[in-house]
Amino acid sequence: MSEEEYHYNGEPLQLSYRNTYTPPDKVNIVLKLQEDYEAGMVSDAQVRWIVNNAKFGSFTIMKIIDKLLFEKKLKHNPITLDNRTFYKKPSPFDL
């Protein structure tokens, strides 16, 4: 068990495109990721492990990081180690 892995129910997260999670499990993972990130319980190494290995929840992590970058609460992206975002900032003309 590596220290940088993020676990759900005692097991490392599965891939985002090939997993055996039920829909309630998926919702619980997303909510747990959000709560843990807000509480500071997710390290930068765990965030990199989730995103770089395409684990389930990587989209959630990327959206959280982008939100914090847009709100100027983060100065640098912990994945890219610069100020790039994963998605463009929404404009007033986006639906």
The per-residue pLDDT for range 41-72, each reduced to its tens digit, is 999 899 999 999 999 999 999 999 999 888 88
b/e map 79-95, b = 16+ CB within 10 Å: beeeeeebeeeeeeeee
Q: Which helix (H) or strand (E) holds 12?
A: strand 11-12
Q: In this predicted model, what pLDDT tens digit does every residue of 79-89 receive, in sequence order?
A: 888 888 888 87
> Tokens 């847009």 — which residue?
70
Q: What is the pLDDT of residue 2?
A: 59
Quote the pTM value: 0.83
The pLDDT of residue 3: 60
- Strand runs labelled E in the chain: 7-8, 11-12
